[in-house]
Amino acid sequence: MPIALLNGRVLREQALVTGQCVLLEGGRILDIVPQDHPSSRGATAVDLRGNLLLPGFIDSQVNGGGGVLFNDSPSVEAIRRIGRAHRRFGTTGFMPTLISADLDVVARAIAAARGAIETGVPGVLGIHIEGPFLNVERKGVHDPAKLRELDTSAVGLLTSLGIGRTLVTLAPEMTKPEIIEKLARAGIIVSAGHTNATYAEVVAALHHGLTGFTHLFNAMSQLTGRKPGVVGAALESLDSWCGIIVDGQHISPVVLRLALRCKPSSRFMLVTDAMPTVGTDARSFKLQGRDVSVSGNVCIDEDGRLAGSNIDMASCVRNAVSLLGVSLPEAVRMASLYPAEFLGLSHELGRIEPGYRANLVLADEKLNVLETWIDGQKPA
């Protein structure tokens, strides 16, 4: 029997609209009709009580949550627990993210992501492999002993998921443009991060299939008067997507507001870079043997370096409105439609439209999440 979502304010393409009934059936949005339309009469009615009905949030960088770090437990159950923790904050699609590790661990993580998708773990879209093909000069908290160049020997592993999406963050200078092109031709989404590349190296990578920038401004060569660096190339490229952590601490809101003037906001996507503390009361954890503690919205290692965040997607959306000055509909698109476009999933995710997967968030005026649906299902 169809489900009829009634009495909500529904985010369509450009605005919140009232008086519409969103019909769900078979895990997808069957139709959107006026509330008094005959097709809604035989459906199971759900009264949304005037709250906001939004496309589900998509987070392409989730290291952990619910007390679990993916690196520590690259397993189907770990992905399930991480997804459950983030779902409470509106994330209905996510990429479990593996921080730089030995290639045998990468293989285990890929197998876990494949198993999670095949067994129907709610929300998992694939895997994000962040390293180990990074530059030690911009390593951040990544273990320098794990970092290596990317040659053809690892291409088979990186392209082995066989289902869902694979996102690889690499330093362009740690590989060759031809290898980036080989990954892109195989359907891998390639993003630049933890990189000290020159502007010219990034432009070459963009010409060979690079399409994204991982946590823009963090762990990359900066824009200066004579050397545009990775940041300059990212802001100049109108076709690439930039992940941004809008927690007020990773990057100054002033800098992000300036970035939004350089290229369309449709090329910026919100990410959390979340660590295992999200969804828990914990204030510390271990990362590859190092002590990491929570400080506000960020996590800090024992040497004072940033080590991911303690923020959720609903908070990122709120911050995009309050700190960056974007409208609520645009902030939601930065958390839903634009990451769906980056991942090549905008034909079925990121919008409330007939035929799309019924991945939805119900939230109040303050963007507190009240309910979520993934493929038309509420949490068990």
84 by DSSP, 3-state: which?
helix
Domain identity same for 49 and 197: no
Mean pLDDT (the chain, rounded): 97
Distance CA 180, CA 7 (A): 48
State the catalytic residue, choosing from 273, 281, 301, 312: 273
Distance CA 299, CA 180 (A): 31
pLDDT score, position 122 = 98
- Is residue 109 in a domain? yes
Query: What is the per-residue DSSP string for 114-183?
Result: HHHHHTT-TTB-EEEEE-SS--GGG-TTS-GGG-----GGGHHHHT---SSEEEEEE-GGGS-HHHHHHH
pLDDT tens digits, residue range 282-299? Answer: 999 999 999 999 999 999
Instruction: Establish whether 273 is a catalytic residue.
Output: yes
| Band of residue 121 on the pLDDT scale cut at 50, 70, 90 | very high
Residue 13 predicted with pLDDT over 90: no
- Is residue 361 in a domain? yes
For residues 44 and 85, the answer to whether their CB atoms sit within 8 Å is no
Number of domains making up the chain: 2
- Is residue 347 in a domain? no
- Is residue 107 in a domain? yes
Distance CA 96, CA 32 (A): 32
> Where in the sequence is the domain holding 361, given as residue range(s)?
3-54+354-373
For residues 10 and 16, the answer to whether their CB atoms sit within 8 Å is yes
- Is residue 262 in a domain? yes
Domain identity same for 223 and 150: yes
Domain identity same for 105 and 43: no
Domain identity same for 307 and 321: yes
Instruction: Give the residue among 319, 293, 303, 312 at the shortest CA–CA distance from 64.
Output: 312
Count the Cβ atoms, other than its own, within 10 Å of residue 62. 28
pLDDT score, position 42 = 86
Residue 39 predicted with pLDDT over 90: no
Domain identity same for 39 and 72: no
Domain identity same for 235 and 314: yes
Q: pTM of the predicted model, to two decimals?
A: 0.98
Domain identity same for 180 and 40: no
In 186-336, which residue ranges form alpha helices assigned H by DSSP? 199-207, 229-236, 253-260, 313-324, 328-335
Domain identity same for 296 and 361: no
Instruction: Give the residue among 215, 170, 168 at the shortest CA–CA distance from 195.
Output: 170
pLDDT tens digits, residue range 175-214? Answer: 999 999 999 999 999 999 999 999 999 999 999 999 999 9
